[in-house]
Chain A
Amino acid sequence: MAVIVIRPASSAWLRLHEHLARLAEYRDLLVTLSAHRISVRYKQTSLGLAWAVLQPLMMMVIFTAVFSVLAKMPGDGTPYALFAYTALLPWTFFSGSVTSATNSLVSHNQMITKVYFPREILPITYVVAGAFDFAIGFVVLVALMAWYAVPLTAHAWLLLPIVALLALWTLAVSLVLSAVQVRFRDVGVALPVLVQGLMFASPIIYPLSVVPASWRSWYLLNPIAGIVGSFRDVLLHHAPPDPVPLRFAAIVTAVVLPLAYLFFKRAEATMADLI
């Protein structure tokens, strides 16, 4: 019979494999909770699932009106609406998931103080729900590309690893912010401003090409920059993604995600006392 040893919190840093094994044991909870997260979201809305399509479309219309029609922002040779939407889609996945995941632990304080389960499941379910919206938004993107007669080429397959990278980076940020939010609610207050700032620090409304070369290496430390740029490369420019920004994004994620997870598990040990 399996022996579980409950140890003091300080040992959480050392036991990555145990944490992952525990998470795997609770995969059914992850699946159930994610499914409910998605089904609950649009319950008691009259438009239901249509919101998953409408939200990014409305953003696209607003962005196009403001930045293209009024501010005459360049679209790198593609129609601005499509240019903006291609970046808004991954960006909304990131910002939406991070925003809702940050509060995930605090809003489930009832569960956290009453019953044990690996707490990372809560922020993860918001990332999964974000991925679901992303998938629907992607169908809309394909429709938009057809509308603007931009073909979908074989390069689109390269999106799979890029989306995986996006999801992992989103997860890393969600883990850290949700854990810090338990102790310092300042995070939740500052988050809208931070997200807004990060959006302008990423090539969403403007192309990556307008960023001065001397800023590049700093600019690309933000993995979203490389990921969004790659989306445009693959879908709009029909080219393999620019390897430099993507490599930056991959390295930053590979370093940050394990640390973020261990940080989360260390914080988890006393979460129920603080929440």
Chain B
Amino acid sequence: MPAMDVRDVRFRGVSKKYRVRQPASSAGLRYQDFWAVRDVTLDIPRGETLGIIGRNGAGKSTLLKLLSRITSPTAGTIELRGRLAALIEVGSGFHPELTGRENVFLSGSVLGMKRREIAAKLDRIVDFSGVRPFIDMPVKWYSSGMYVRLGFAVAAHLEADILLVDEVLAVGDAAFQIQCYERIGELRRGGTTMVFISHDLGSIERLCDRVVLMNRGRVTDIGSPAEVLGHYHQLVAESFAADTAGASVVAEAGAARVCDVRFVDDAGLDVPGTATGGRLRTVVEIDVTVPIAEAVVEVFYYSRDGRTLHCQQSTATTDAAVVLMPGRRRLEFVCDGFGLQPGIYSVGASIRDRHAPATIDWWYGTRLLDVKPGKSVRGYFYAPHQWRWADAPDGQRRPADV
């Protein structure tokens, strides 16, 4: 069988319409149609890991629900080759009165496993979950962590040809998450076709071969993770700009481009980041093709999943104009006391015209900022500060850095 030719999943013109009841209208019941998924045609080859991203309400979850047969399409067909299993929510079908062991059988059969298959895998499932001492206790006495671990353990041992994963990895402690990723990697190497929905753009980036971007129910972009994630951030930034400015003049798109964002130490050598309260030099490499008289260059530090913006550095905080002349330019932000908490942050950068709301370029690469523990911090961030005696004679008021 020629592996390249096998398509495990084929969407053909798939649409899903919901009828939304209009709130309290005087003329009886009024319904409005809402297309959650619109005319999706898509092939997923065997063994591919496909990520689906999009803003809330873009239709990602509906697409997954259609694929997992939880609900039916309004039009179009989906062809599946092989056994499909969905990790849409772990622990589905657990019954609180039953013991962990009984629930493994229940949950396994809900997910489509045969009793014999479950019995054969019971030991491995229980070991994976790490709840062996409690396996004969009703799950109503489990902690939520134990519950989730057992649920994932069952789902992770399904022998499926196609596996759907929706946000399940956002559960459990760090050690368990690593275990989950390892299991997913194992399944991938074993040739399982996977469809992944997550807001954690970091894991999408790491795990997926291809990414689909959805917007208002339609597939608007398909390609490599780096490419599509870049477009996604641009989409988010543009709609944000449109929301705030109320206008959308497309100003000189393509006039300049962010090529890379790097972090360097005082010797100018590349470093992965800094420590909390330490010095951070952020270098933005820009390719300029058309001169821009007054540009604004900005760097954004997001939480790893790309959902929360933690801080921003911008040339717009000073009055000095950034004049961009054609050629390769390097612009540097220097921060002496970088205050973010220890952790990994994703990084974005943008160029825009000071007088137009639209972005000229949006960059969202694979670069992560690594902030190591430095000055100890309680609260949200480290604020650079000093202390001195306020009641001593002037000569003894020597400042001391913290």
Contacts and interface: CB of A to CB of B under 8 A. Distances in A.
Interface of A: 1-9, 12, 25-26, 28-29, 31-33, 36, 39-40, 43-44, 110-117, 269-273
Contacts of A26: 109, 112
B70 interface: yes
Contacts of B81: 1-4
Interface string B89-131: 1001101011000100110011111110000000000000000
B75 interface: yes
Given A31-B115, A115-B88, A5 B78 contact: yes
A116 B83 CA distance: 12
A270 B72 contact: yes
B86 A28 contact: no
29 contacts: A1-B81, A1-B161, A4-B81, A5-B78, A5-B80, A6-B72, A6-B73, A6-B78, A6-B80, A8-B73, A8-B76, A9-B72, A12-B72, A25-B112, A32-B106, A36-B102, A39-B98, A112-B70, A114-B88, A115-B68, A115-B88, A115-B92, A115-B110, A117-B110, A269-B71, A269-B72, A272-B70, A272-B71, A273-B18
A110 B151 CA distance: 14
B255 interface: no
Contacts of B89: 114-115
Closest 4 CB pairs of A and B: A269-B72, A29-B109, A116-B69, A6-B78
A252 B71 CA distance: 32
A32 B77 contact: no
Contact of B79 (A5, A12, A33): A5
Contact of B110 (A7, A29, A39): A29
A14 B207 CA distance: 41
Nearest to B96: A40
Given A110-B92, A110-B93, A115-B111, 5 more contacts: A25-B112, A32-B106, A33-B110, A36-B95, A116-B69
A5 B115 CA distance: 26
B90 to A, nearest CB: 9
Question: Interface size class for chain B?
Answer: 35 or more
A111 B77 contact: no
Contacts of A115: 68, 70, 86, 88-89, 92-93, 110-111
A214 B373 CA distance: 91
A28 B76 contact: no
Nearest to A269: B72
Interface in B56-85: 65-82, 84
Contacts of A44: 97
A128 B66 CA distance: 30
Given A1-B81, A115-B93, A7 B72 contact: yes
Contacts of B93: 110-111, 114-115
A9 B70 CA distance: 12
Contacts of B92: 110-111, 114-115
Contacts of B67: 6
Interface string B279-311: 000000000000000000000000000000000
Nearest to B166: A114
Contacts of A8: 72-77
Given A5-B77, A8-B74, A272-B70, A111 B82 contact: no
Given A6-B80, A32-B105, A116 B68 contact: yes
Contacts of B105: 32
Contact of B71 (A25, A29, A111, A273): A273
A240 to B, nearest CB: 41
A32 to B, nearest CB: 5
B248 to A, nearest CB: 34
Contacts of B106: 32-33, 36
B35 to A, nearest CB: 13
B238 to A, nearest CB: 32
A12 B115 CA distance: 29
A272 B110 contact: no
Contacts of A5: 77-80
Contacts of B82: 1-2
Query: Which of B18, B68, B71, B112 has most A Cβ within 10 Å?
Result: B71
Contacts of A112: 70
Contacts of A39: 98
Nearest to A7: B77
A111 B82 CA distance: 23
A270 B95 CA distance: 25
A129 to B, nearest CB: 14
A4 B71 contact: no
Query: Which of B67, B69, B78 has most A Cβ within 10 Å?
Result: B69
Contacts of A269: 71-72
A234 B35 CA distance: 59
B254 to A, nearest CB: 42
Given A111-B92, A273-B18, A273-B71, A116 B86 contact: yes
Contact of B70 (A3, A29, A113): A113
Given A3-B80, A6-B66, A270 B112 contact: no
A165 to B, nearest CB: 29
B161 to A, nearest CB: 7
Nearest to A113: B70
A270 B114 CA distance: 27
A239 B167 CA distance: 64
A116 B160 CA distance: 14
A128 to B, nearest CB: 15
Contacts of A116: 68-70, 86
A3 B110 contact: no
Contacts of B161: 1
B112 A117 contact: yes
Contacts of A6: 66-67, 69, 72-73, 77-80
